[in-house]
């Protein structure tokens, strides 16, 4: 399955992608995670991405499309993948179409986790991530058993630098302007489905799996 997981910042894309990775044994491709790894390693890519990420704006399309093209060409994507947080602009969606054509692949489904703006700042500001294994928590909605400590690996939890109220406001306005138009783009090609992302995490997973079961079956 070649899946695309969409939704505004903080909607739960990463959280749900991890569940789908487990169930369908296909890799998650998160441009945000790739940029954060590059920033941490101090690579050229990281330098290009950092200022945009800190400001809550999008990394330029040519940079983003380049890393996705390289990633999708790897062997582990041959049996399917979950794109998480890419595409975020219509330009990126068009570039993705070309990349997939070249690889002789087609998107199976576009899944949008729909969450109204008033939920999203609280979700992002309360988000915590494990330094050790990258697992995502929330101080209120998905709290670890021991405060600031990962249930899986015992690692310490940290907060993303861009998960502030101020940066989130910017990210939400960028979403409205640049990313929301993708809904119509994918509706037109008949691949689009949405689930109600205001529900508890397990319920959202169940609905996504129901959608995918009907595709598979
Ligand atoms: P969120 O969890 O808010 O959806 P991500 O982790 O996906 O955020 O992305 C964090 C930041 O990385 C974005 O604010 C943006 O600066 C950059 N980024 C991630 N994906 C893309 C993309 N497809 N195009 C441009 N910039 C991106
Ligand atoms: P995204 O990748 O779309 O930015 P995340 O998966 O990182 O979103 O989720 C953002 C925050 O909201 C995290 O702290 C996560 O634990 C929490 N979260 C995810 N899904 C839900 C949900 N259905 N209800 C409440 N909180 C959620
Ligand atoms: Zn961990």
Please indicate, yes or no, if residue 121 is contained in any of the structural domains.
Answer: no
Q: What percent of the chain has pLDDT over 70?
A: 99
Asked about 19 being catalytic, the answer comes back as: no
Asked about 88 being catalytic, the answer comes back as: yes
- The 10s digit of each residue's pLDDT in 90-135 is 999 999 999 999 999 999 999 999 999 999 999 999 999 999 999 9
Q: What percent of the chain has pLDDT over 90?
A: 98
Residue 30 Cα: closest atom of ligand 2? 2
Catalytic residue among 36, 109, 127, 128: 127
Asked about 128 being catalytic, the answer comes back as: no
Does the pLDDT of residue 217 top 70, yes or no? no
Compute the distance from residue 136 Cα to the ligand 2 centre, in Å. Answer: 8
Catalytic residue among 160, 170, 180, 198: 160
Compute the distance from residue 217 Cα to the ligand 1 centre, in Å. Answer: 33
- The 10s digit of each residue's pLDDT in 33-73 is 999 999 999 999 999 999 999 999 999 999 999 999 999 99
pLDDT at 127: 98
Give which of 103, 74, 102, 69 is closest to 87, Cα–Cα. Answer: 69
Q: What's the rounded Cα separation, in Å, for the pair 37 and 46?
A: 8
pTM listed for this prediction: 0.96
Do 28 and 133 share a domain, yes or no? no
Do 101 and 198 share a domain, yes or no? yes
Please indicate, yes or no, if residue 181 is contained in any of the structural domains.
Answer: yes
* Atom 9 of ligand 2: nearest residue by CA position: 12
- The 10s digit of each residue's pLDDT in 128-163 is 999 999 999 999 999 999 999 999 999 999 999 999
Question: CB within 6 Å of ligand 1 — which residues?
Answer: 9-10, 13, 31-32, 35, 52-53, 56, 58-59, 64, 85-86, 88, 92, 171
- What CATH number does residue 80 fall under? 3.40.50.300
- 3-class DSSP state for residue 28? strand
Please indicate, yes or no, if residue 33 is contained in any of the structural domains.
Answer: yes
Compute the distance from residue 31 Cα to the ligand 1 centre, in Å. Answer: 6
Residue 84 Cα: closest atom of ligand 1? 7
Please indicate, yes or no, if residue 122 is contained in any of the structural domains.
Answer: no
pLDDT at 125: 98
Domain extent at residue 76: 2-116+168-216
Q: What's the rounded Cα separation, in Å, for the pair 37 and 112?
A: 25
Do 98 and 155 share a domain, yes or no? no
Residue 197 Cα: closest atom of ligand 2? 23
pLDDT at 215: 86
Alpha helices in 28-180, H assignment, sequence order:
31-41, 44-55, 61-72, 90-102, 117-125, 165-174
Q: What's the rounded Cα separation, in Å, for the pair 64 and 53?
A: 12
Do 136 and 105 share a domain, yes or no? no
Q: Distances from the Cα of 187 to the Cαs of 109, 111, 129, in angstroms?
A: 11, 11, 33
Do 111 and 87 share a domain, yes or no? yes
């Amino acid at each position: 399955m070649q899946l695309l997981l969409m939704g505004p910042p903080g909607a739960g894309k990463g959280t749900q992608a991890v569940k789908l990775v487990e169930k369908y044994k296909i890799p998650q491709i998160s441009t945000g995670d790739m940029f954060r790894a590059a920033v941490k390693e101090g690579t050229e890519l990281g330098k290009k991405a950092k200022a945009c990420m800190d400001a809550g704006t999008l990394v330029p399309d040519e940079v983003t499309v380049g890393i996705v093209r390289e990633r999708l060409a790897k062997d582990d994507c041959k049996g399917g993948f979950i794109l998480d947080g890419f595409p975020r602009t219509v330009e990126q969606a068009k570039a993705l179409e070309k990349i997939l054509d070249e690889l002789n692949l087609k998107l199976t489904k576009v899944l949008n986790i729909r969450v109204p703006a008033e939920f999203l700042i609280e979700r992002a500001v309360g988000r915590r991530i494990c330094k050790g294994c990258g697992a995502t928590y929330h101080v209120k909605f998905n709290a670890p058993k021991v405060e600031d400590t990962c249930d899986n690996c015992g690692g310490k939890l940290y907060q993303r630098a861009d998960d502030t109220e101020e940066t989130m406001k910017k990210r939400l306005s960028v979403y409205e302007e640049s990313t929301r138009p993708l809904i119509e783009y994918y509706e037109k090609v008949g691949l689009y489905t949405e689930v109600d992302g205001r529900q508890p995490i397990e319920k959202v997973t169940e609905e996504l799996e129901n959608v995918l079961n009907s595709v598979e079956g």
